[in-house]
Each structure stands twice: as structure tokens, then as C-alpha cells.
Structure 1
Amino acid sequence: MLSAGVILPNTDHDNFSTLYEPEKLRPLARLVERGRPGLAIQLMTQFATPALRSPIQLNISVGSVVWLPDGMRVVAGCEDGNIRILDVASGATLHELVGHTKLVNQFAVSPSGKLLASCSDDLSIRFWDAETGHAIGAPMVGHDDDVWSVAFSPDGRHIVSGSSDDTLRIWSTETCTTVLGPLRGHTSSVFSVAYSPDGSRIVSGSGDDTVRVWDARTGDQILTLRGHTLLVHSVAYSPDGLRIVSGSDDRTVRIWDATTGQAVGISLEGHFDWVISVAYSSDGTRIVSGSDDHTIRIWDAATSASIATIRGHTEYVGTVGSVAFSPDGKRLASASEDGTVRIWDATDDWRRWDI
């Protein structure tokens, strides 16, 4: 049986039972459906797990996870400063990238999928070959404090970084030097950065409770998005570039108009603790969030409705520090302080009894 993990559509309670692989429950669900139509889906929802495999045990706090474009591998950043490229099917470590001397806060994959960029509490940014795991070039330094976030431009020519020195920097991936910045405006740590899909803008989230939008060419600040009441941990653009999503210590997820900076709809509420990570699905229809409450939530990006809550990361030490949709949007990867990377079914197939 897979380790317990539960997905509870539109529920806010913490009570859940031992869960089972969907295929083992389906014969019983079919029998139940014959006697009481409509009950099978309830049975599957309550007792089936969306976990697609047992947790990938790394036995050290995992702060960040991203998918590689082939959808067969994920990259995990760990507390020991090392980065591990993992085979999703087997859970095996394919490469261990050694170089950072402190916690790896985040990394990004280039549009080509060939290059990784990582950032760390050791104040540096590093490039790596995604196929071999070999370091490329020397560490990039310039920030005066922990580097929290990095993101590639859509053309792969630049990366942007955000730091506890309250600034952003834009770097050349060819020369490994700062080409713009430091960009100043935030009054506290910059925890998250992302490029717009067309590469013209950059969004940042900060400990000053704001989300800010910058001109990627000039470095000028364009918008300040206010609404969160505590620090903003994570920001992301929608695939069409029309929306920005943010997650905050105020326990909410917010959606913004990327052009005007105005809030869109109501805040997405349901988490019971800090929201650490947010991301859009590749088709832009769903948002995923990971929280200090140990859960993952999936939201409807158009209606702001809660679609599902995934539980499974260990209580007390199970902060979900990073969540990401697979390239095809059918799976989720999550990373946690409980020392695991977990892979989940992001579709409704896990609770279908008729397949």
C-alpha cells in the first residue's frame, strides 16, 4: 500500500482515514454503485489516495522541487546544499549536484531544459548541466545576503534573482555577470521572482507584504500590488501572462490582473498556515499551493473555488515548501521538510470507480 496521502475535495477538516491505492478499491466501489448509485464516488473520494508512488525518501529537509521538461525527472534542492536529480518512476537519484555550501532555496530550469540555475543561503547562484549534473562556470555572486529565488527569461538569455538584501538582479546566462541591477524598491527580503511569458516583465514577492512588477529591459518598477497583510512567499505568472498569483503568510492565495495590478475576484482561502509556494498549471486553468499546514490545495483559476486538498506530508515537520505541476498538468510534485518528494495525481482519475 502507498503511504497515506489524502485528497478531499472542498473540505476543511483534518480528519482522514487509512487510504488505499485506487485500483484496489475499484472492485468494491463497483459493487457499492450497483446497490446505491452515486455512493461509489464518495467511497473513492474518502478512501483512495492520489499518491502515484511511495514517497521519495531523501532523509533531509527538501526546500524546492521542479520538473524537467521530459516529465520523467524532478530536481530537488536540499538543506545540505546539494541538489538531486531524481527519476520519478523509480525514485532513484540520477545525479547529485554538489557545490553550494548552505541551503538551496530554489532553482529554475531553462526553456531548453538543458540548464539549471540554483540559488542558496551561501549568497551565490550556480549553473548546472541538467543532463550530466556538472557545474557550469563559476558561482555568480553579487547579492549581499541569502538568495531566495531565481527564474529564467523565456528566451533563456537571462535569469533574475531575488535576495534578502531587498533587491533583484538580472544576469546574463552567457557571461554569468549582472547586466541590470540591483533593482531597488522592496523594503524587505525578495522571496520570489518570475518572468512574464513574453519576457517583458518581472514579478516579485517580498517580506514587505507587496507584489511588484518591473520592466525587464530597463529595471523600472511598473506596479505595486497591495492586498496581502503579511509577507509574500511566492509569485507566478499565468501561462497567458494576463494574471499573477501570489501566496502569503496571511494564509491566502491572491490572483491579480497583470496589466493593472488590481485584485481579481476574492482571495483564495482555506489554508490554516503560511502559503509557501504557488504555481499555475500549463493550461492556466488551475493553481496549486503548498503550505506550512502540511497540505497542498488545487484551485480553479477562473472561479477561485477550492477543487481539492491533498494531505500526506508528515504533521509537525511536513511544511510543503514547494509544489509544481508536471509539464502535461497531470501530476504534481511536492517537497517538504519531512525529507520527502511526493508525486500526486493532479487529475480526477484516482477517484473514478468506472475505469
Structure 2
Amino acid sequence: MALPGSLLPSALSGSPQPPTQGNSQGIASRSRRKFLALGIGLGAIIISSGAIWYASSRHDTLSFTPKSTAHPAIPTAGSILFTYTGHTEPVFSVAWSPTGKRLASASYDDTAQVWNAATGGAPLVTYRGHSGVIESLAWSPDGRHIASASYDNTVQVWDAATGGSPLITYRGHTAFVESVAWSPGGQQIASASADKTLQVWDAATGGSPLITYNVHLYGNKYGISSVAWSPNGKLVVTGGYDNKVQVWDATTRKGVLATYIGHIGSVESVAWSPDGRHIVSGAFDSTVKLWDSNTSGNALVTYTGHALAVSSVTWSPDSKHIASASYDNTVQVCQAI
């Protein structure tokens, strides 16, 4: 189906395949993440113990090596520059500020933290306004504010420089909020919840939603896991637990304008290309699919490089490449088309 309006250039998060009853969805989502976190922690303990034993057993044969005076090696692609360890529980979402100088991260420890993108170090801001897990966050286009979505059923907007108390607490949802996205113009925020609604609301005032879509009325039985804006700010694209990618009118309440079918697992993440021409989706079926944003047809390309579920996808600024993150512990970058 053709979509209205031209898409103009402009400027990641995920959840599991749901059970058949919506009310158990949040529990399943949190349980899977907690299980993964415990598994990772146990693995780290085992590996650390093995390293200590090995070092002890080799103590007598180790020789002293003078400290090298050579200049440090220049980082190569894929090398870790630093590791940020400010959170005490698994981290669910991370977003780069528009200036590129800071990163914000959201965690199972009920905090959002802002930190220096060049050095890591101690958090510059620790936001504690939520009473539950923070699932998703997004920067405002001007970099002054952050919107965070939580298992406490709220989206909160707060000062990115100081944290403090929330400037706005949006209470339009009746279940935990899965995903949040700030419109390119900065005037609206879109949020998707386990209450099976997609809502668009005023970023400056909160208040009542400007648009509410009950997604089950549009063929989605289970709800939405991910939401992203089109570059022109007129449309939003969602990834659903029903394995579908859907495009929604974000200004005039026309509902679903296009539906893309092809995944055989819940769609964990969606992103619109900066040039407005394509949509990418990553799913629990371990695939990444590329779609034409102007027509609702079959996937243009299906990438099958991952061994496990794809948790997040994002575009390069020039719309030529796609990066995808997976539970197989890899991030892969591929040619878009």
C-alpha cells in the first residue's frame, strides 16, 4: 500500500516472544532477562575461578617482564575502548546523545545513567525517578532531556544534565511500557506498552494522549515491543509480538497504513532509515529483514547471519549499512541493499 507524504531525511530495544495470554507477558519478559543475567553472572564466576587457579598453578614458571615503553597501540575496529560498569543489574537500553558526547543507559536496577561517551568513568547523572525496571530510553533531539519507559507503567521526562525529579510523568498506560521514541521535531513522544496500546503524546506537557491505538483492533493480539519514528515525523513503525511490522499514522488517527509479514518470531526491534526509504526489523527468529517503506510487500532482503534472536537494529547515518545485535553475543554490520 502506498504511504502518504514524502519521507524526508532525519535521525535501539527488544523483548521476548509472548505467551498466549497478555497478562503474563511482562512476567515472561522479565523472567527471560533475569534468567539471562543469572546465566551470564554464573559464567563469569566460573571463568574467573578458572583463571585464578591457572595463574596460581603457573606461579613458579612465570618470569618477570619489564614494562614496555612502547607507545600504546592505536585502537582497531571492534576493539573495546572502555567498559562502563555503573549499573548493578543487566542493562536493557543505551542511547547516544545528539552531540555524541554522552551516553544514557537504562537498567534492571531501576536507574538510568548518563555518562561520558569518551571515557566512561563514574556516572555524570544517575536518575532514580522510577519505581521499576527501566526498559527503554530516548534523548530529545536537542539533547536537553531524556524520556525513560519503565515497568512502573510510566514514561518520565527528565533533565539530562541534572537528573533530579521528573519534569513530566506520563501516566497514559495501564501496564509496563516497552518502548519509547522521541519524534524528530521534538514535539511528540510515542510509547508502546504491554497494555496493548500505542500512544502519541505531547513531549512538553504529557497530559492526555494525542493519539491512542488499541493494537488488538488492528490485528495485533499480543502487543508491541518496539517503536520508531519516520524521519518526517508523520508516521511510526512498530515491531509486534505477533511477528508483524506495522506502520501507523502519527498525526491524523488513520491507524495502520502498512503491514509487513515475514518474520516467524516476535519482532524485537525496528528502525527507519534516515533517508526514509526503508525499514529494518530484527526478530526472535534470528533474522534481520529489510522492507520498502513506501509499499507493504515482501521483504526486500533477509539477513541470516545470526545464530540466535536479534535484539536490536539500527541504521548508519548515510542509510547504507545496518548494525544488528543478537543473543549470539555478536553485533553484525551489513550492506543495506
**Aligned-pair CA distance for 1:222:** 1.0
2:247 alignment partner in structure 1: 255
Aligned partner of 1:223 among 211, 226, 235: 211
2:200 alignment partner in structure 1: 213
Q: Go from structure 1 to structure 2 and tell me whether the alpha carbon gap of 1:152 and 1:138 turns closer, same or farther (over 3 Å shift).
A: closer
Query: 92-101 or 223-232, which moves further after superposition?
Result: 223-232
Q: Go from structure 1 to structure 2 and tell me whether the alpha carbon gap of 1:303 and 1:88 turns closer, same or farther (over 3 Å shift).
A: farther
Larger RCO (alpha carbons 8 Å, 6+ apart): 1
Give the Cα–Cα distance (whole angstroms) in 2 for the partners of residues 177 and 111 of structure 1.
Answer: 21
Aligned partner of 1:309 among 293, 302, 311: 302
1:57 alignment partner in structure 2: none
Q: Which runs of 5+ in 1 are unaligned?
A: 1-61, 65-77, 82-86, 348-355
* Aligned length in residues: 265
Q: Go from structure 1 to structure 2 and tell me whether the alpha carbon gap of 1:89 and 1:241 turns closer, same or farther (over 3 Å shift).
A: farther
Checking the alignment, whether the CA contact within 8 Å between 1:63 and 1:336 is kept in structure 2 is: no
Give the Cα–Cα distance (whole angstroms) in 2 for the partners of residues 123 and 136 of structure 1.
Answer: 15
Give the Cα–Cα distance (whole angstroms) in 2 for the partners of residues 266 and 294 of structure 1.
Answer: 23
Aligned partner of 1:159 among 146, 160, 170: 146
Indicate the percent of aligned positions where both proteins have the same amino acid. 44
2:264 alignment partner in structure 1: 272
Aligned partner of 1:337 among 327, 331, 337: 327
Checking the alignment, whether the CA contact within 8 Å between 1:126 and 1:135 is kept in structure 2 is: no
2:55 alignment partner in structure 1: none
Alignment of 1:53-132 (within 5 A): 90-132=77-119
Task: Give the secondary-structure state (helix, strand or coil) at the position aligned to 1:93.
Answer: coil
1:343 counterpart letter in structure 2: V
1:158 counterpart letter in structure 2: H
Q: Which runs of 5+ in 2 are unaligned?
A: 1-11, 15-35, 42-73
Task: Give the secondary-structure state (helix, strand or coil) at the position aligned to 1:288.
Answer: strand
**Aligned-pair CA distance for 1:261:** 3.0
Checking the alignment, whether the CA contact within 8 Å between 2:249 and 2:257 is kept in structure 1 is: no
Asked if 1:328 corresponds to 2:318, the answer is yes
Checking the alignment, whether the CA contact within 8 Å between 1:215 and 1:222 is kept in structure 2 is: yes
Q: Go from structure 1 to structure 2 and tell me whether the alpha carbon gap of 1:115 and 1:268 turns closer, same or farther (over 3 Å shift).
A: same
Q: Go from structure 1 to structure 2 and tell me whether the alpha carbon gap of 1:323 and 1:256 turns closer, same or farther (over 3 Å shift).
A: same
**Aligned-pair CA distance for 1:161:** 0.5
**Aligned-pair CA distance for 1:270:** 0.5
Q: Go from structure 1 to structure 2 and tell me whether the alpha carbon gap of 1:260 and 1:63 turns closer, same or farther (over 3 Å shift).
A: closer
1:234 alignment partner in structure 2: 226
Q: Go from structure 1 to structure 2 and tell me whether the alpha carbon gap of 1:229 and 1:193 turns closer, same or farther (over 3 Å shift).
A: same
CA deviation digits over 1:284-303, x for unaligned, max 9? 11111010011001111111
Q: Go from structure 1 to structure 2 and tell me whether the alpha carbon gap of 1:323 and 1:89 turns closer, same or farther (over 3 Å shift).
A: farther
2:18 alignment partner in structure 1: none
Task: Give the secondary-structure state (helix, strand or coil) at the position aligned to 1:94.
Answer: coil
Query: 263-272 or 276-285, which moves further after superposition?
Result: 263-272
1:311 counterpart letter in structure 2: T
Checking the alignment, whether the CA contact within 8 Å between 1:169 and 1:178 is kept in structure 2 is: no
Larger Rg: 2
**Aligned-pair CA distance for 1:118:** 0.5
Checking the alignment, whether the CA contact within 8 Å between 2:159 and 2:167 is kept in structure 1 is: no
2:225 counterpart letter in structure 1: H
CA deviation digits over 1:317-347, x for unaligned, max 9? x110100111111111111111111111113
Checking the alignment, whether the CA contact within 8 Å between 2:154 and 2:172 is kept in structure 1 is: yes
Give the Cα–Cα distance (whole angstroms) in 2 for the partners of residues 240 and 324 of structure 1.
Answer: 17
Give the Cα–Cα distance (whole angstroms) in 2 for the partners of residues 207 and 344 of structure 1.
Answer: 32
Task: Give the secondary-structure state (helix, strand or coil) at the position aligned to 1:156.
Answer: coil
**Aligned-pair CA distance for 1:265:** 3.0
Give the Cα–Cα distance (whole angstroms) in 2 for the partners of residues 292 and 196 of structure 1.
Answer: 26
2:286 alignment partner in structure 1: 294
2:314 counterpart letter in structure 1: A
